[in-house]
Amino acid sequence: MPRSNGSPFFTGGIRQAVLLRVLPRLGEFPETERREVLARAGETRFDLIEWVGVLGGVMFVTWLLRFDPAQAASLPLPLLYLAQFIAAAPLLLLVVGPFYLRCTLRGLDLEVERRRRAQSSGIRR
């Protein structure tokens, strides 16, 4: 029986379909190498645009979720922080997520180029 590393809903075909839809360059790699390639692509360092986007996105979401003095006085502070956290998670996904996706796509492009160079040097020998 194969080992599952995630939710039963996202095992097999559905997870692969979503990954290939979001990261189309991943389809250039055999299925057995995809997990390793994704790990290497995820280690790619941010460039200047991505750093500015992530920092600006976090500042923007923080500004959006600031407390009113009336809100802070009417509710207990832990409840306010919990509500702010629950609201921040999807906002950060929408605002900052594209910069992480851009970095991962750039890392996949580097992996594709590395693979092509390795194949072309192997053929010439």
Secondary structure in 3-state letters for 99-114: HHHHHHHHHHHHHHHH
pLDDT at position 121 is 81
Averages of pLDDT over runs of 10 residues in the chain (125 residues) are: 52 79 87 88 93 96 87 84 92 96 93 89 63
For position 18, what pLDDT does the model report? Answer: 84
Count other C-beta atoms under 10 Å from residue 26's C-beta.
22
What is the pTM for the complete model shown? Answer: 0.74
